[in-house]
């Protein structure tokens, strides 16, 4: 089993619908992140959390919200999906005490908003 698991892996939805992408990890890391990737572009940070009580906006947080339900779970919500949120979403984790900057990524969730 993957250390960082994302569900669903693929989702097609319609404009205006609420969507939740879930991420769970078994690595015991304290930090979790949500990134978005569009074709031909690098990854852009949406939200990040350094521990359960800490939530921070990234560079493109508008239209998204997150919930850190436990150390191992970090969910990303699109309250009212729009077509330009069609993208590949990645969850990642890192551990403060390990190699600086080493992120461990999930397999991605491909979201299509019609």
Site for other proteins in 80-99 (CB under 8 A): 88, 90, 92, 94, 96, 99
Which of 83-89's residues contact partners 24+ apart within 8 Å by CB, and which partners?
A: 83/15, 83/113, 83/114, 84/113, 85/111, 85/113, 86/111, 86/112, 86/113, 87/36, 87/37, 87/38, 87/111, 88/36, 88/37, 88/38, 89/6, 89/21, 89/34, 89/35, 89/36, 89/37, 89/46
108 binds other proteins (CB under 8 A): yes
- The least distance separating other proteins from the CB of residue 42, rounded to whole angstroms, comes to 4
Q: 């339900």: which residue's tokens?
A: 69
| Contact pick of 19, 25, 33, 76 for other proteins (by CB under 8 A) | 33
35 binds other proteins (CB under 8 A): yes
1 binds other proteins (CB under 8 A): no
- The least distance separating other proteins from the CB of residue 80, rounded to whole angstroms, comes to 26
The residues of the shown chain that bind other proteins, judged by CB under 8 A, are 4, 33, 35, 40-45, 48, 50, 58-59, 88, 90, 92, 94, 96, 99-108, 110
């Amino acid at each position: 089993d993957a250390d960082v698991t994302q569900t669903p892996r693929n989702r097609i939805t319609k404009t205006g619908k609420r969507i939740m992408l879930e991420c769970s990890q078994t690595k015991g890391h304290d930090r979790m992140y949500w990134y978005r990737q569009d074709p031909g572009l690098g990854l852009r940070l949406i939200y990040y959390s350094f521990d359960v009580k800490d939530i921070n906006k990234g560079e493109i947080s508008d239209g998204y919200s997150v919930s850190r339900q436990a150390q191992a779970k970090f969910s990303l919500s699109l309250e009212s999906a729009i077509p330009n949120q069609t993208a590949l979403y990645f969850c990642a984790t890192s551990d403060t005490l390990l190699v600086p900057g080493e992120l461990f990524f999930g397999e991605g969730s491909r979201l299509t908003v019609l």
